[in-house]
């Protein structure tokens, strides 16, 4: 049963069938002269995890080591890790029960073992996946799934406890400024440099206090979406509500980009700031301002960006660039008892509980509101239990006249729509929680848009380090904007890392 160990040199030199019950599905290491191969393998909870030593020239078996059944480990006896061959005398490898084995390289007999702590949570497992590394002072460094990083004495396997060693997973988690406060699990091999510095890649598990989130489901923050940019601004040194401006902050609030020029080493960006005009020079410049705010900004350095702001598309009646029509967001609340007392035909429940996501109003139905999100059904804690909160969007490219109405008139239109769709006769006036007119809301991907973006991207190729981005390029849905930002940041980082 199981896989074979095969020696190849263009053609097969030899192959060793897997020993009974020990599929060779792990890793292989060699003596320094290449004469002996040490292969690990195992599979499944009942597998005999172990190491086999074979003559690398002939494939003849030298010895076989099985993790003893008499010393049961918590999960399995499996071994997949790459063995460390130390001084050509000792083979060191961890098993899936959190135990490190030091074997005599000549005989396969165990010299010592070290038992890692047990995973009491059951979240991380007891396995040791990572190969062991050696420091310049001949100490073993090993890491476990549980997240410990330890040093051991090669001769005895005794733990070397000194200075800051061992490194506990919780210590690393707490030391980090990351909001991911869970224990960091370690799969990767430690790397030790000539100075003895140990590098380990750790995986951070989300804080168990975080709610589960499934992509595609609605998500929000208790204090709204502005939480995210505010957190970023604070992280970059300038909380949005700080009484004083921090001159050293990496985020500058209230700076408006007015122009960009090419310099010998990159770009110079001109800003209007609360303290007057400021120029910033940089190697790479990423604009994420909306297209409607960039007219003339890139004229000198990237004339190819002009279609974004100036393209005339007579066939669709567009006289300049990408169109951003106005939209108004109106948040209102009504008592549940004011809603129509009807059971929904889909079996979801009574309309008074608003069992769903929201409603869209086809233009043919004569309701001016475009659509309504049932905010208190989507997100917890938005209102008292006997109320429903509705977020209405009204306006858009087919109703630009809405932007000329005053707030009271807009709320009136929204209330009319709610009465037509959701409310029972005699419903009280709404509690108005918010009215926000966005005069240039969402860019419209109209006929010809993709061509404009293609020409922008062609132009960008001629200006390395200059990136013109935004929701007119990434897609308008917020998750698309964030995903685009993550991906694009890698491209910019690669540019900056290049010479």
**Closest distance to ligand FAD from the beta carbon of 273 (Å):** 10
CA atoms of 100 and 136, how far apart (whole Å): 20
Residue 427, C-beta contacts closer than 8 angstroms, at least 6 positions apart: 334, 338, 339, 418, 419
- What are 53's strand-pairing partners? 38, 63
**110 or 481: CB nearest ligand FAD:** 481
**Closest distance to ligand FAD from the beta carbon of 280 (Å):** 12
CA atoms of 459 and 135, how far apart (whole Å): 51
**234 or 293: CB nearest ligand FAD:** 293
Q: Tell me if 434 sits within 8 A of 280, measured CB to CB.
A: no
| Exposure b/e, 343-355, CB count within 10 A at least 16 = b | eeeeeeeebbebe
**Closest distance to ligand FAD from the beta carbon of 379 (Å):** 12
Q: Tell me if 82 sits within 8 A of 115, measured CB to CB.
A: no
Measure CA 312 to chain center: 39
**Closest distance to ligand FAD from the beta carbon of 247 (Å):** 18
Q: Tell me if 458 sits within 8 A of 308, measured CB to CB.
A: no
CA atoms of 306 and 297, how far apart (whole Å): 9
**113 or 288: CB nearest ligand FAD:** 288
**403 or 481: CB nearest ligand FAD:** 481
3 state DSSP class of 457: helix
Token pair 């904007």 is at which residue? 481
**84 or 260: CB nearest ligand FAD:** 260
Q: Which residues bind ligand FAD (CB under 6 A)?
A: 256-257, 288-290, 293, 327, 329, 438, 441-442, 470-471, 476-478, 481
- What are 270's strand-pairing partners? 259, 279
**Closest distance to ligand FAD from the beta carbon of 479 (Å):** 6
CA atoms of 202 and 457, how far apart (whole Å): 37
**Closest distance to ligand FAD from the beta carbon of 434 (Å):** 11
**Closest distance to ligand FAD from the beta carbon of 413 (Å):** 16
């Amino acid at each position: 049963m199981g896989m074979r160990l095969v020696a190849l040199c263009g053609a097969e030199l030899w192959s060793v069938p897997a020993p009974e019950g020990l599929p060779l599905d792990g890793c292989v290491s060699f003596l320094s002269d290449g004469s002996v191969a040490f292969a690990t393998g195992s599979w499944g909870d009942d597998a005999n995890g172990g190491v086999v030593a074979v003559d690398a020239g002939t494939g003849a078996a030298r010895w076989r080591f099985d993790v003893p059944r008499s010393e049961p480990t918590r999960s399995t006896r499996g071994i997949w890790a790459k063995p460390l061959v130390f001084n050509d005398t000792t083979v060191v490898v961890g098993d899936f029960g959190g135990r490190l084995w030091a074997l005599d390289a000549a005989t396969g007999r165990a010299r010592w073992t070290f038992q890692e702590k047990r995973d009491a949570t059951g979240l991380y497992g007891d396995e040791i996946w990572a190969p062991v590394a050696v420091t310049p002072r001949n100490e073993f460094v090993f890491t476990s799934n549980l997240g410990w990083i330890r040093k051991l004495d090669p001769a005895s396997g005794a733990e070397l406890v000194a200075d800051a060693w061992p490194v506990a997973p919780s210590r690393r988690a707490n030391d980090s400024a990351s909001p991911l406060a869970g224990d960091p699990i370690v799969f990767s091999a430690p790397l030790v440099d000539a100075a003895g510095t140990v590098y380990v890649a750790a995986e951070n598990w989300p804080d168990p206090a975080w709610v589960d989130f499934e992509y595609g489901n609605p998500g929000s923050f208790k204090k709204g979406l502005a939480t995210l940019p505010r957190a970023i601004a604070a992280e970059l040194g300038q909380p949005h509500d700080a009484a004083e401006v921090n001159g050293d902050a990496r985020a500058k609030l209230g700076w408006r980009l007015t122009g960009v020029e090419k310099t010998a080493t990159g770009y110079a960006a001109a800003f209007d700031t609360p303290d007057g005009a400021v120029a910033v020079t940089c190697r790479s410049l990423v604009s994420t301002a909306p297209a409607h705010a960039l007219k003339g900004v890139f004229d000198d350095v990237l004339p190819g960006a002009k279609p974004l702001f100036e393209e005339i598309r007579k066939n669709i009646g567009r006289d300049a660039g990408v169109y951003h029509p106005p939209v108004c967001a109106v948040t209102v609340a009504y008592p549940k008892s004011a809603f129509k007392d009807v059971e929904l035909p889909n079996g979801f429940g009574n309309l008074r509980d608003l069992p769903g996501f929201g409603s869209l109003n086809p233009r043919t139905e004569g309701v001016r509101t475009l659509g309504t999100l049932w905010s208190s059904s989507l997100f917890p804690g938005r209102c008292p239990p006997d109320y429903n909160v509705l977020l209405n969007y009204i306006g858009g490219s087919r109703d630009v006249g809405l932007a000329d109405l005053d707030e009271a008139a807009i709320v009136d239109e929204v209330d009319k729509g709610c009465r037509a769709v959701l409310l029972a006769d005699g419903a009280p006036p709404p509690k108005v929680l918010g009215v926000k007119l966005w005069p240039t809301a969402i860019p419209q991907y109209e006929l010809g848009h993709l061509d404009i973006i293609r020409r922008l991207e062609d132009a960008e190729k001629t200006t390395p380090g200059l990136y013109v981005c935004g929701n007119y390029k990434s897609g308008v849905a917020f998750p698309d904007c964030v995903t685009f930002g993550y991906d694009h940041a890698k491209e910019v980082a690669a540019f900056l890392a290049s010479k």
